Amino acid sequence: MFSGPKELTQESVGVNYRALSDLFLLSEQRKDIISYEIFVQMLEIYNEQVRDLLATDGPNKKYPLPSC
């Protein structure tokens, strides 16, 4: 489960929230000029495993890391 500030203010929101907010604001402002299709992926890298935190198919879709 995700946690964060109880009240969202300009000072308390994180970089993801700010970036997505800007992205959706720009897409709304330009909707008469261009149509956007927006996809979001949130990945976690831990113990040399990459997991998609927003995956709906299974407990967290895992991505193999290529060996160097």
Residues 23 and 31: beta-carbon distance below 8 Å: no
pTM tops 0.85? no
Check whether 20 has a pLDDT greater than 80. yes
Kind and range of the H or E run holding 50: strand 49-52
- Can you give the C-alpha Rg of the chain in angstroms? 16
Instruction: Quote the CA–CA distance of 44 and 15 in Å, as a whole number.
Output: 16
* Residue 4 pLDDT: 65
Mean pLDDT, residues 18-38: 92
Instruction: Quote the CA–CA distance of 2 and 14 in Å, as a whole number.
Output: 13
18 DSSP 8-state letter: H
Check whether 38 has a pLDDT greater than 60. yes
* Residue 60 pLDDT: 62
pLDDT-derived band at 28 (thresholds 50, 70, 90) equals very high
Check whether 61 has a pLDDT greater than 80. no
